Amino acid sequence: MGNPGLRDPLRRPAFRRLAISFAVNEMGDWLGIVALSALVFELTHSAMASAFLFIGTGFLPALLNPFLVARLERPPPRFVLPTIYALEATAFCALALLAAHFSLPAIVAVAAVDGTLALTGKTLTRAVTATMLEPHGELRAGNAVLNIAFTGGAAVGPALGGLVIAGVGTQAALLLDAASFYAIAWIVLSARPLPQPQPEDEVSLREQVRAGLDYIRRNRTLRRLIAAEATALVFFSAAVPIVVVYANEALGVGDAGYGLLFGSWGTGMVFGSVIFARLRRAPLPALLFFSTLAIGAGYLGQAAAPSLLIACVTAVLGGAGNGIQWVAMVSAVQELTSPSMQARVLGTLESSASATPGIGFVLGGLIAAGWSARGAFLVAGVGVIAVAMAAAITLGRNWPLEQGKERPGSVDAADELMVELIPAEALPSLERRS
């Protein structure tokens, strides 16, 4: 397929707009995450309430996403994507109103709707990108560009959220988030027509979803990659809902410090995305393995950090691993998947990334409530490293990437696999959330 440079996909105007929308989308997602987490913790002072927020915005979207993707993969993406973003903006306007009339169930319900829309939007954007770039051999380069855009938004969003909350309040942060999604809708709507994946014809929506799941079951490498991801995510996500508790109770740095912690992780993701872009010839299994270890090391560093500065430094390390790992995972899945199944397979991956963390959220919340926030980081770090090492020793590190498109039942010549984790996409983006 060659090794095109990062500028090659950027020569395509439609791809440039998708990359811009990715950056603004992720910035808005993180701004909303920080605002909602701070609001819930400030009014409940409960680690379990924070965990409930993340569960509600992850589990329900994971159930609905495959069906919504199957329904929306057929209309023109130029109109579908702006509609999704406009609805997300409306959801954040509703959350801004709820910030003044607090109701945890109502906030979780509206945030779950937004999470479903966000997951579907990201899935369809990835599918359009694969359709646009893969025939020209530019998919991995395009994924690297999207990852830089994605991680740039992840670096700016949390810090911006913390500063906006500290300066003018949670409601203003949520309204700013809504404005960012209206901006994305206009950016995509004003683009030229976007290439559309051509799904296979099925009789019903249920059969469309079932066809995607059957495709994964027949492709052993895809099946095992997604299953390994789900296992690793339990530990990866255990620390996510208690970062706000960690910032306020373990470090005593408040909302601004909470935003800096998330911003440091996002800054690390930017570094990781640049590293991935530089290492486009490197084997994906090696990138996935070492980036997973970096994430585990980052969690262990935060468990032991005596100050905000050290916690931010270790967050940069974990974020760098995160910035490499997720784009490598997406690239592997896309290269293993036929064009007609891109949206459905990616939808299953995104759904798995959104649903599985619920176990980790509960685990992290229970550990933080019964032990401490530092304890949750410790368990997360040890668990991530243990899963990565066990997978490397037991299952090996090499697997082919291109054979699955022609022969989905026999893609891997050996029973070998590498574990990877979901990053910011699994946050309500965690995942959510590139």
Fill in the amino acid letter for 157.
G
Q: What is the pLDDT of residue 87?
A: 94
Give me the number of domains the chain comprises.
1
Please check whether residue 225 lies inside any domain of the structure. Answer: yes
3-state secondary structure of 101: coil
| Domain-embedded: residue 416 | no
Could you tell me which residue, 360 or 354, shows the higher pLDDT?
A: 360
In a domain, 196, yes or no: yes
Name 358's bridge partners.
none
pLDDT of the residue at 202: 53
Contact criterion met (CB below 8 Å) for 132 and 15: yes
pLDDT for 414 equals 38
Confidence (pLDDT) at 432? 39
In tens, the pLDDT along 281-324 reads 788 778 888 888 999 999 999 999 998 899 999 999 999 998 88
Q: Is residue 433 part of a domain?
A: no
**CATH code at position 280:** 1.20.1250.20
CB 123 within 8 A of CB 72: no
CA distance 364 to 237: 8
CA 370 from centroid of its chain's CA atoms? 28
What pLDDT does residue 11 have? 86
Nearest residue to 322 via CA among 361, 369, 267, 278: 267
In a domain, residue 422? The reply is no
Segment 23-53, tens digit of pLDDT: 887 788 778 877 888 788 778 877 677 767 7
Structural domain contains residue 145: yes
Q: At what angle are helices 13-44 and 77-100 packed, to 10 degrees?
A: 20
The 10s digit of each residue's pLDDT in 381-433 is 999 898 888 777 765 555 555 444 444 443 333 333 334 343 434 433 333 33
Residue type, 408: P
DSSP 135: G
The answer to whether 50 and 428 are in contact (CB under 8 A) is no
pLDDT at residue number 394: 64
Average pLDDT, the chain: 79
Range of lowest pLDDT (98-112, 132-146, 334-348, 420-434): 420-434
Q: Give the Cα separation of 343 and 365 in Å (integer).
A: 33
H-type helices in 134-242, by residue range? 139-168, 170-189, 205-218, 220-236
Task: Return the bridge partners of 429, or none.
Answer: 427
Task: Give me the count of residues in the chain.
Answer: 434
**Within a domain: residue 414?**
no
Cβ–Cβ < 8 Å for 165, 280 = no
Q: Are 89 and 106 contacting, i.e. CB atoms less than 8 angstroms apart?
A: no
- The span from the CA of 329 to the CA of 27, in Å, is 21
Q: Are 236 and 360 in contact (CB under 8 A)?
A: yes
In a domain? residue 34: yes
C-beta separation of 104 from 51 below 8 A: no
Higher pLDDT, 274 or 153: 274
| Phi–psi pair at 402, nearest 5 degrees | -95, -15
Lowest mean pLDDT among 7-21, 192-206, 289-303: 192-206
C-alpha distances out from residue 373 to 115, 339, 356, 383, Å: 25, 44, 21, 15
Characterise 307 by phi-psi region: left (phi > 0), alpha (psi -120 to 50), beta (else).
beta
The band of 145, judged by pLDDT with boundaries at 50, 70 and 90, is confident
For 211-268, write each residue's pLDDT tens digit.
778 888 888 777 877 777 778 888 888 887 788 788 888 888 877 787 788 778 878 8
**Domain containing 151: what range?**
7-405
Residue labelled with tokens 């066809």: 211
Rg value, the chain, Cα: 20
- CA 126 vs. chain centroid, Å, equals 12
The two structure tokens encoding residue 227 = 């299953």
Closest among 45, 267, 10, 316 to 138, alpha carbons compared: 10
Rounded distance, CA 263 to CA 409, Å?
42
Nearest to 66, CA basis, from 196, 202, 205, 199: 205
